[in-house]
């Protein structure tokens, strides 16, 4: 378990200047691209919110999470990826992510919460994979900091180690399978979208995650 401290070291000044958000935290949403503009309740990622991407291992959670970063990164927003040992930068590029706008902390080990908390001080979106089950207190403090700073936290969650608190938005991969005729044509996945507030209406849709082009497509 961790505790946020008032004496936590700040981000180095040069790095903080580089990753300072291009819009104020008062701006309501971080943009997303297709197909998410039509899928998400607010046609974007609401600042201060926590998004949980829940799926079994190998079902496509990482692809789904990274596809949410494409429009944000290409429009000048800084993103960060914490706890993903091998993010697959070629696949991220094919998903439309501007890698020049992404910071990577691949092995934070026991300091994952502190790393994520430091990053939400300066970036717009943080994708987080925790190394093990997360305590309620650690999750609550991190979500509180995300709300305070006006960032967006995207958590990768698995059945064996689920995120312990309700999220503002949950994208759950119910099942996925690779389609192939003479070659692999992409992974088909059924995704349930649910949440709180404006995201309370449950919706299910089928995505190609990814399509042969590398992008995520609806239908």
Beta strands in 44-183 (DSSP E): 44-46, 50-54, 79-82, 102-105, 125-129, 152-157, 169-180
Q: Residue 3 — very low, low, confident or very high, per pLDDT cuts 50/70/90?
A: very low
- Mean pLDDT (whole number) for 145-172: 97
Lowest mean pLDDT among 6-10, 32-36, 97-101: 6-10
Beta strands in the chain (DSSP E): 29-31, 44-46, 50-54, 79-82, 102-105, 125-129, 152-157, 169-180, 184-195, 203-208, 217-218
Q: Which residue has the tokens 């829940």?
A: 54
Model confidence pLDDT, tens digit, residues 115-149: 999 999 999 999 999 998 999 999 999 999 999 99
Model confidence pLDDT, tens digit, residues 35-87: 999 999 889 999 999 999 999 999 999 999 999 999 999 999 999 999 999 99
Torsion sign (Cα): 59, 162, 67, 37: positive
The four Cα atoms 144, 145, 149, 154 give a dihedral, to 10 degrees, of -80
Per DSSP, the three-state class of 82 is: strand
Question: What does the block give as tokens for 69?
Answer: 């970063």
Taking the C-alpha atoms of residue 141 and residue 122, their distance in angstroms, rounded to an integer, is 17
Question: Phi first, then psi: what are they for 6, rounded to 5°?
Answer: -65, -20
Specify the pLDDT at position 180: 72
Model confidence pLDDT, tens digit, residues 166-205: 999 999 999 999 887 555 678 999 999 999 876 678 899 9
Model confidence pLDDT, tens digit, residues 5-29: 444 445 555 555 455 444 444 478 9
Domains and CATH numbers, the chain: 27-188 (3.40.50.300)
Q: Which residue has the tokens 């607010």?
A: 42
């Amino acid at each position: 378990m961790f505790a946020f401290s008032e004496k936590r070291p700040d981000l180095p000044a040069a790095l903080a200047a580089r990753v300072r958000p291009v819009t104020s935290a008062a701006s309501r949403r971080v943009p997303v691209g297709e197909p998410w503009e039509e899928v998400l309740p607010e046609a974007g990622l609401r600042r201060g919110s926590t998004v949980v991407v829940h799926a079994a291992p190998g079902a496509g959670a990482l692809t789904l999470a990274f596809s949410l970063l494409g429009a944000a990164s290409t429009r000048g927003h800084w993103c960060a990826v914490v706890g993903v040992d091998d993010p697959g930068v070629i696949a991220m590029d094919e998903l439309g992510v501007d890698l020049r706008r992404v910071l990577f902390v691949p092995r934070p080990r026991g300091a994952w919460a502190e790393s994520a908390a430091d990053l939400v001080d300066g970036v717009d979106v943080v994708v987080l994979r925790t190394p093990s089950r997360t305590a309620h207190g650690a999750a609550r403090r991190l979500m509180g900091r995300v709300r305070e700073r006006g960032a967006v936290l995207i958590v990768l969650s698995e059945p064996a180690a689920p995120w312990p608190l309700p999220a503002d938005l949950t994208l759950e991969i119910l099942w996925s399978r690779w389609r192939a005729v003479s070659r692999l044509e992409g992974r088909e996945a059924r995704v349930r979208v649910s949440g709180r507030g404006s995201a309370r209406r449950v919706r299910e849709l089928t995505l190609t995650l990814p399509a042969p082009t590398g992008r995520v497509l609806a239908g």
